[in-house]
Structure 1
Amino acid sequence: MHKIGYLGPAGTFTEQAALLYSESCPGELIGYRDVPDLIMAVQNGSLDRAIVPIENVVEGTVNVTIDILTHEADLKIVGEVVIPIHQCLIAANGTKQEDIRGIISHPQALAQCRRFLQTHFNGIPVHTASSTAAGAMEVKNSTLPLAAIANKRAAQVFGLNVLAENIEDHPHNCTRFVVLSRHPSQPTGDDKTSIVFSVNNEPGSLLRALSIFAQHGINLTRIESRPMRTRLGQYLFYVDFEGHAQDKEAMNALKCVEAISTYYKYLGSYPRFRDGSG
């Protein structure tokens, strides 16, 4: 049976994504403390696959994931999962909202609930944790009247009480997770591909690269820039597009992009996530 890692402990949104993924690709789910260790566990063979967050509707790219895939790991994206993110305020049984003297959660969760915190807990100290569930665990183990921001499952896992539901600032908040493996996936007929590249710092260089996809009739679904880690003004460009790298048009387009790039890395082709709602 495959060993599939996720950002733990139990009760994280990453575990929720892993449970959804395991419905179609069964495996033993193993929690890891942080994203770098999780990704490198696939790299060194301790895991067969890993589920990691890569993009949130509100907070954008999860930088640690994309940076490790680009600069440190030699892995391929072989799947994706998108889940809605509904945050709850949870605390120990008997703790009331007015009793709370500190709030703990993952930085992304805290940012997603910024307005709620400003409105109801202005001046209350906020502390970060490695995951939403790790924050819930801290609340469980504390003798102080603390609260965590996490999902309902975390409340169930750690025996905490839900004080408020759906506290995220944006009701359509969702996070995209990717599945990582040492081995690439084969075409399914409904795929996406992810690459990262850089071009010379000169007029029209990025336009020329992006025009290649248009010339081959390929639809881009995401483009984003990140610093190249060399010097100011040099950037990497992350692109997702419809299709598999083995498709004829995609294959030709990627060859052209690679030819004019100063840096190029193929991150993987994988089945596009479908939630059944159309």
Structure 2
Amino acid sequence: MRYGFLGPETTFTHQALLQALAEGPAGATDAEVEIVPFASVATATADLIAGDIDALMAPIENSVEGGVSGTLDVLAATDAITIVAEQIVQIGFVLAAKEPTALEDLTVVSSHPHAQAQVQGWLRAHVPEADVAAASSTAAAARDLAAMDADEAYGRAAVCSALAARHFGLEVLAEGIEDVSGARTRFVLVAREGRIPARTGADKTTVVIHLPHNRSGALLEALEMLRSNGVNMSRIESRPIGDFLGRYSFSIDMEGHLEDRRVAAALRSLHRMCPVVHYLGSYPRVDGTRPEVREDFEDVTYDEAHRWIEDLGGMITPSSSAG
């Protein structure tokens, strides 16, 4: 198995992948697993679809910044991949430099934009004169800084994990610089289409939908289809479709599995209404939380209602015998 991740090594995505592999089926050896770093989720997804890797770990949601737009957009762009698992990683940041440096001497601080957003208050308070530069990942910011010679690196720092700072031999200038302590990022493990883990009873289902254009109340109608089947959402986010202004898709996480009658009924309703429904998978919740399901939304009630309608259908007079 070849697993892709947003690299280089020591990114939070790398940590999420290592967690997933550690929790995987017993008996797997390092010789049977290869992990491959990528500079972007889009590049990794292209290789996944092409068959060059077997699965991909990607960040999808942060407790402070919300959805990770790059991942959401890639997932919305294709129905050839399926989410098969999720992981959650506790997020913490340090400010690191190649050599010990006074904060007032820093002129450039680099990191991934999502990381920058989570430390912007600290940066404004402690290094207000420094420019903030974007990197493809927190670990890439640390790696690139470590590769510079002393003169080029002077006045530069990186926002990264403590693990990345140690791995690349950087000096930690400040730690615990995140604006909100206890922040977490959720990651999803994505495989090529066709793999849906069996129901566990503590599952999520993810879809991306497009609403009918210029139809008043269309979003309310879609949400009502979930409500009327007792399906609770744990996340909903809008992303521009890109064809013209005012057109948005909606990425939705719902509690439950495709095997749950209530979830299947809700998906059938969405498919009837929406011009596009990308089913992105049903998979176990990493926290193991089971949803509270009302009695009238349990599988048995759907099955009984289905049998009842079938019985009623047996009473219909065939059209050839009518009149």
TM-score by length of 2: 0.81
CA separation of 1:5 and 1:83: change in aligned 2, threshold 3 A: same
Q: CA deviation at 1:99?
A: 3.4
Q: CA deviation at 1:73?
A: 5.8
- Residue 174 of structure 1: aligned partner: 184
Amino acid of the structure 2 residue aligned with 1:176: R
Q: After superposition, give the CA deviation of every residue in 1:14-46 in whole Å (9 maximum; x if it has no partner).
A: 111111111112533221122111122211111
RMSD: 1.7
TM-score by length of 1: 0.94
Q: Unmatched 5+ residue regions in structure 1?
A: none
- Residue 187 of structure 1: aligned partner: 199
Q: How does 1:53-132 map to 2 (within 5 A)?
A: 53-72=59-78, 74-132=80-138
Q: CA deviation at 1:57?
A: 1.7
CA separation of 1:124 and 1:179: change in aligned 2, threshold 3 A: same
CA distance in 2, matches of 1:251, 1:204: 23
Between Structure 1 and Structure 2, the one with more helix by share is 2
Q: Please say if residues 104 and 127 of structure 2, whose CA atoms lie closer than 8 Å, have aligned partners that are also in contact.
A: no
- Residue 4 of structure 2: aligned partner: 5
Amino acid of the structure 1 residue aligned with 2:103: Q
Q: Give yes or no for the alignment of 1:254 onto 2:259.
A: no
Q: Please say if residues 79 and 278 of structure 2, whose CA atoms lie closer than 8 Å, have aligned partners that are also in contact.
A: no
Identity %: 39
Find the structure with the greater CA-based Rg.
Answer: 2
CA distance in 1, matches of 2:283, 2:205: 6
CA distance in 1, matches of 2:79, 2:14: 22
Q: Please say if residues 8 and 15 of structure 1, whose CA atoms lie closer than 8 Å, have aligned partners that are also in contact.
A: yes
CA distance in 1, matches of 2:288, 2:198: 21
Which range moves more in the overlay, 30-39 or 78-87? Answer: 30-39
| Partner of residue 203 from structure 1, selected from 204, 211, 216 | 216
Amino acid of the structure 2 residue aligned with 1:159: G
Which range moves more in the overlay, 91-100 or 166-175? Answer: 91-100
Q: Please say if residues 133 and 150 of structure 1, whose CA atoms lie closer than 8 Å, have aligned partners that are also in contact.
A: yes
Amino acid of the structure 2 residue aligned with 1:19: L
Q: Unmatched 5+ residue regions in structure 2?
A: 290-323
Q: How does 1:26-41 map to 2 (within 5 A)?
A: 27-41=33-47
Q: After superposition, give the CA deviation of every residue in 1:196-240 in whole Å (9 maximum; x if it has no partner).
A: 112223222221211111111111111111112222222211111
CA distance in 1, matches of 2:244, 2:39: 32
Q: Please say if residues 43 and 73 of structure 1, whose CA atoms lie closer than 8 Å, have aligned partners that are also in contact.
A: no
Q: After superposition, give the CA deviation of every residue in 1:40-63 in whole Å (9 maximum; x if it has no partner).
A: 221111111110011112222111
Q: Please say if residues 89 and 184 of structure 2, whose CA atoms lie closer than 8 Å, have aligned partners that are also in contact.
A: yes
Q: Please say if residues 41 and 74 of structure 2, whose CA atoms lie closer than 8 Å, have aligned partners that are also in contact.
A: no
Q: Please say if residues 203 and 257 of structure 2, whose CA atoms lie closer than 8 Å, have aligned partners that are also in contact.
A: yes
Q: After superposition, give the CA deviation of every residue in 1:97-143 in whole Å (9 maximum; x if it has no partner).
A: 34323211111111111111111111212211111111001211222
Q: CA deviation at 1:275?
A: 8.0
Task: Name the SS of the counterpart of 1:113 in structure 2.
Answer: helix
Task: Name the SS of the counterpart of 2:8 in structure 1.
Answer: coil
